[in-house]
Chains A and B, each alone.
Chain A
Amino acid sequence: MTDDETLLLLSAYADGELSPGEVLAMDRRLAADPDARAMAERLRDLSGTLRATLAGPPAPESLRARVIEQIGFFDPPQSHNRLGGPLGSRLGSWLESWSGTWRGSWQALAATLLLGLVGGAGLGGGAVYLDRPGGAPDTGEVVLAGHLRGLAAPQPFDVASSDRHVVKPWFNGRTTIAPEAPDLSDKGFPLVGGRVDIVGGTPVPTLVYRRDRHVISVTVIPAADGPAAGEERRDGSTIERWRLGDLTYWAVSDLNRRDLRTFVDLFQSRTGGPPG
């Protein structure tokens, strides 16, 4: 019989939220206590079923359209009064007085704006390329923009296939790199397809995986100078990068860090070992 507190601990244990010391204690307890083991198993089954139960149809397209309409995405720059009332006209006049200083603020704004425009390209159609005076935007930004554009599109991939023997050849002729597309579905990371992203003006391959409802994009680009491996957070997404041979791999997802780490380790072990 498991008591109340044990259940709370087991539940947090299943979520990976116990401290390392508590995890050790629980591992020992589970090894010795069949009741606790049975309860841990039921909690795990429950989580698995809940994920399917809680999922459902995505937001209807009509909602997306209404939201975009409401925010006034397609307003020409001159007519900002669509929001109506004093707020709209105030914003309009701000914009006018502000456009004079546009150049000066450009550097500071470019990062955000570029992401937004590329992210929004799925809606407006056609990619927007902004030439930033300070040089090319950094690669992490562009890779993240590709990932977010994928999320905003009806599908995050251009070719849908869970067969790595389909995905890899698909890139031939579309990009100069045809990356290995390891099948990780046995570990809960099914391959769902691939797409072409543009990094530094060059088409590069992106592999798309899923973990439950989360999308993981793995963009592969020729290695450049700079740090070979690392992790960073941007706007709620985690980016992991590593180097293999003369290629740099960029994995982007809103998965939690631990799961993304697991994914990256798996991916590396199936494509020729950890980064050199």
Chain B
Amino acid sequence: MTTLARARFSQLVLPRLDEGYRLAHWLTGNATDAEDVMQEACLRAYRAIEGFAEGNARAWFLTIVRNTGYSWLQRHRPRAVVFAEDLAPEARAELEIGGALAEAPETPEATLIARDDAGQLARAVEALPVPFREALVLREYHGLSYREIAAVTDVPIGTVMSRLGRARQHLLARLAKDGR
């Protein structure tokens, strides 16, 4: 049993450590915590590996990393796990209606957007609420489809679409503001 489980683990999980680590890093915000999350996630993946029959191993493993990251955040930084529903009404309105866009930049040509030399964009991503951040990372870094993101984050596809749209809108507005 363990021989088989280990063989599957080395086939399904080990090649994906880097990907998982990046997600854990963006969820927790630093390298040390990301390692803790990954170590726990790998153990969970190993225990669950017999139950993984066929399908998308990548989405399966990223789901485990994501869920481990969430429980880690809840344990260590309860305030960080803010869901859109829990945001203060003003903050929520800004994120959802994108008041941001009302003051859209006059210079759409993205000298600011083209390169993130000053790390503005990275900081803006870090400041996004977790559900928006994870959708963005899963899409832009991991290249997952909306359907896969929906499966990993356990929300409808429409929610994925709106979270990505809002997150991008928010980032563009932040960059425009910083650039003034």
Given that A12-B165, A112-B4, A212-B143 are contacting pairs, would A235 and B12 also be in contact in the complex, using a CB cutoff of 8 Å? yes
Interface pair A50/B136, CB less than 8 Å apart: yes
Interface pair B8/A63, CB less than 8 Å apart: no
Interface pair B121/A115, CB less than 8 Å apart: no
Interface pair B140/A47, CB less than 8 Å apart: yes
Partner of A53, one of B56, B97, B121: B121
Interface residue total, chain B, C-beta cutoff 8 A: 66
* Bound complex: CA A64 to CA B20 (Å): 12
Q: Which residues of A contact B180 (CB under 8 A)?
A: none
* Bound complex: CA A66 to CA B38 (Å): 10
A26 an interface residue at 8 Å Cβ cutoff?
no
Interface pair A148/B15, CB less than 8 Å apart: yes
Interface pair A46/B110, CB less than 8 Å apart: yes
* Bound complex: CA A119 to CA B10 (Å): 6
Interface pair B35/A49, CB less than 8 Å apart: no
Interface segment among A34-42, A181-189, A197-205: the answer is: A34-42
Residue in B closest to A77 when the chains form the complex, CB atoms: B3
Interface pair B168/A120, CB less than 8 Å apart: no
* Bound complex: CA A194 to CA B15 (Å): 18
Shortest distance from the beta carbon of A90 to any chain B beta carbon, whole Å: 9
B55 an interface residue at 8 Å Cβ cutoff?
yes
Q: Which residues of A contact B115 (CB under 8 A)?
A: 49
A71 an interface residue at 8 Å Cβ cutoff?
yes
Residue in B closest to A3 when the chains form the complex, CB atoms: B101
Shortest distance from the beta carbon of A273 to any chain B beta carbon, whole Å: 29
Interface pair A236/B57, CB less than 8 Å apart: yes
Q: Which residues of A contact B172 (CB under 8 A)?
A: 42-43, 46
A interface, how many residues as a size bin? 35 or more
Q: Using an 8 Å CB-CB cutoff, how does the interface string of A154-191 with B read, 1 for contact, 0 for none? A: 00000000000000000000000000000000000000
Shortest distance from the beta carbon of A129 to any chain B beta carbon, whole Å: 15
Q: Which residues of B contact A45 (CB under 8 A)?
A: 110, 113-114
Shortest distance from the beta carbon of B104 to any chain A beta carbon, whole Å: 7
Q: Which residues of B contact A71 (CB under 8 A)?
A: 6, 9, 42-43, 46
Partner of A123, one of B14, B31, B125: B14
A residues lining the B interface (CB < 8 Å): 1-2, 4, 7-8, 11-12, 15, 17, 38-39, 41-43, 45-56, 58-60, 63-64, 66-68, 70-73, 75, 77, 80, 91, 94-95, 98, 109, 112-113, 115-117, 119-120, 123, 148, 151-152, 212-214, 235-236, 254-256, 259
B residues lining the A interface (CB < 8 Å): 1-4, 6-12, 14-22, 25-26, 31, 35, 38-39, 42-43, 46, 54-60, 97-98, 101, 104, 108, 110, 113-116, 121-122, 125, 136-137, 139-143, 145-146, 161-162, 164-165, 168-169, 171-172
27 A-B contact pairs sorted by A residue (CB < 8 Å): A1-B104, A2-B101, A41-B108, A46-B110, A46-B171, A48-B114, A49-B113, A52-B116, A53-B116, A54-B125, A55-B141, A59-B35, A60-B35, A63-B21, A64-B14, A67-B38, A94-B1, A112-B11, A116-B6, A117-B10, A119-B7, A120-B6, A123-B14, A148-B11, A151-B16, A236-B58, A236-B59
